[in-house]
Amino acid sequence: MELKLMMEKLGAPQTHLGLKSMIKEVDEDLDGKLSFREFLLIFHKAAAGELQEESGLMSLAKLSEIDVALEGVKGAKNFFEAKVQALASASKFEAELKAERDERKREEEKRRIRQAAFRELKATFST
Helices (H), 10-67: 16-26, 36-48, 56-63
Q: What is the pLDDT of residue 46?
A: 75
Q: What is the pLDDT of residue 19?
A: 78
Spatial contact of 38 and 28, defined as CB atoms under 8 Å apart: yes
Give domain limits for the chain. 2-63, 69-126
At 73, is the pLDDT very low, low, confident or very high (cuts 50, 70, 90)? low
| Cα–Cα dist 66/80, whole Å | 9
Average pLDDT of the chain to the nearest whole number: 77
Q: What is the pLDDT of residue 104?
A: 94
Instruction: Say whether 127 sits in a helix, a strand or coil.
Output: coil
| Cα–Cα dist 38/55, whole Å | 16
* Cα angle: 5, vertex 22, 39; to 5 degrees: 75
pLDDT at 119 over 70: yes
Give the mean model confidence (pLDDT) for residues 90-112.
Answer: 86
Q: What is the CATH number of domain 2-63?
A: 1.10.238.10
